[in-house]
Amino acid sequence: MAEAVFHPPKRKRRVFESYKAPFPVDVGGKDFRLCQAEIINNNVIVRNPEDIEQLYNKGYFGKGILSRSRPVFSISDPQLVAKWRGVNTNMPIITSQKYQRRVQWAQSVLQEQGLDSCSISRILESYTKPLGLPLCTGDGDGQAGHSCTTGSTGNAELGRKCGREGAQRPEGHKQHSQEGGDPGSASRDQEQEHPRDMAEGSCHRDPAVPWGCEGKQSPEQRAWEEMDSRECAPEYVLVQEEEEGSSCPEDDSTDAQDNLVKKEVLVCRKNPFRIFEYLQLSLEEAFFLVYALGCLSVYYGEEPLSIVKLWEVFSEVKPDFKTTYMAYHYFRGKGWVPKVGLKYGTDLLLYRKGPPFYHASYSVIAELVDDNFEGSLRRPLSWMSLSGLNRTNANASKELMLCYLIRPSDMTAEEMATPECMKRIKVQELIVSRWVSSRERSEPDEF
């Protein structure tokens, strides 16, 4: 058997961030933070934004449920943000079409609660009415108003009328601003009318998420309730809308229909259907954070699960969890960042430092065998399937690795029921490479 040739990891051309730490724990434990997660539909979800930032920035654990990797989802339209860059605000800016879709989603949620159409219309009309919020231009000068205006001629690029003098209010919208009042008063009026209806209609959340419990509260329970209250707080967005009756000729030309100026305004409204992005951890990542680092507590309901209980639950959810976790634990300890390798038909992908810096170097298939390399294989590969899998990974500049987890022949099922069995497990790695006769043959003999 030939020795494997080490190929250095392939660094990505564009790197937009700096490397912080390999694990979300500090040396010495001075700034130790215990993160919290919960099991929802057999998935481990982290909801706290501070925990999400801690786990992903330090070690690149998990992925955003609405993003490719880093949880950076936002409903704000990038084109509208660039178009209204003169307005200094941190609120999302969306189109009226996107806002109406959220109104329809909120309407569907209220219909599922058994409310009649009149009540739904009254609730949504009161909740989504325009509000008055201060808007600032690039110089920081703000005015108490709820809209900014721009002008548009036909399909041409929109000319901006919100300049350095501050956000302007069209006269046709002053009455709406007075009716809407400040966001606090509008929110209080809404809570007095239908507090429970809009709490469920405006917060998009899984029914399995606990709301908290009454009575004696632990710090963990208080953290959950603070998170629930933060998620149920109203979200204010700026909606780009066309001002009613604002179309007028740009000049005195005869072709007035082609030169109509459509004034567009930013109207502040409350988002009736919020979408939150959480961090989803794989079962292997969650158990590593609990067992190896001790910086995560996984809850099922109101109580955190112990290490042995997590080992049992994850093994029931994923029958081959023990095998894949042993491989994950081994490679994490070697300094690699393992990620799910489903995209390339394997168990794990190994990254140096993290996915933002390097491409994956190895695609790993993990197998649990005995001392004689025998046992019921998870993936019995034929020569044809092995060749195809190797070709798939080679085309993506990755090497296929077979990771054999060797357990002693005398290891019992009781020992495998706890993670302490990993102390007796040995690991052997085998890199599969394609043999090309024209490259590998020795020098021809001289006659």
Q: Which residues are catalytic?
A: 351, 359, 398
Write the single-letter amino acid at 243: E
Q: How far apart are CA 447 and CA 444, in angstroms?
A: 9
Please, which residues have CB within 8 angstroms of residue 227's CB and are 6 or more apart in sequence? 47, 48
Write the single-letter amino acid at 41: N
For residues 7, 12, 15 and 20, what is the CA-based torsion angle, rounded to 10 degrees?
A: -30
Please, which residues have CB within 8 angstroms of residue 155's CB and are 6 or more apart in sequence? none
Token pair in block for residue 106: 């909120």
DSSP 79-137: HHHHHTTTEE--S-EEEHHHHHHHHHHHHHHHHHTT--HHHHHHHHHHHSS-B-EEEEE
Q: How far apart are CA 96 and CA 172, in angstroms?
A: 18
Look up tokens 């950076």; give the residue.
72
121 phi/psi in degrees, rounded to 5: -65, -40
